[in-house]
Structure formats: C-alpha cells, structure tokens
Amino acid sequence: MPKNKTHSGMKKRIKVTGGGKLLFQRAGKRHLLERKPSTLTRRLTGTSELSDADAGRVKKLLGR
C-alpha cells in the first residue's frame, strides 16, 4: 500500500501546534480594506483555532 500524500493546499493554510491544535488565518483581510470597517479588520487579525467539527476532516488531509 503506497503512502498517503499530505494535501498541499491544507498544509499551507493550517498550522499544527505542539498540543495538536489547528490554527488558521481568517479570510477577508487581503484586499479592499478601505471599504471594510476597522472593527472587522481588527477582528480578522491573528490566528484562530479550528472548530472540533472541522478538525477531524482537516487532520485527515494533513495525514495525522
């Protein structure tokens, strides 16, 4: 049986912490920022933890 390959797109978007948590960057903060409220852009700053509902699917794509 051949080895499973890691999903290239997912490994670029998700960071796995030492404890196994999955961190990601929220979408919507790349362009067209002048028309978006600063409250929104502040909320989108930084990383967020992936929900448990999505974590299993993403871990499978990452080969974990």
Domain assignment present for 27: yes
Domain assignment present for 58: yes
Domain assignment present for 19: yes
Residue 1 pLDDT > 90, yes or no? Answer: no
The total domain count for the chain is: 1
Domain assignment present for 3: no
The residue among 23, 21, 35, 30 whose CA lies nearest residue 64 is 21
Q: Give yes or no for a contact between 24 and 13, defined as CB atoms under 8 angstroms apart.
A: yes
Domain assignment present for 55: yes
Kindly report the CATH number assigned to the domain that includes residue 49: 4.10.410.60
Domain assignment present for 13: yes
Amino acid identity, position 26: R
Average pLDDT, the chain: 95
Question: What's the rounded Cα separation, in Å, for the pair 56 and 64?
Answer: 9
Range of the domain at 20: 8-62
* pLDDT tens sequence across 27-38: 999 999 999 999
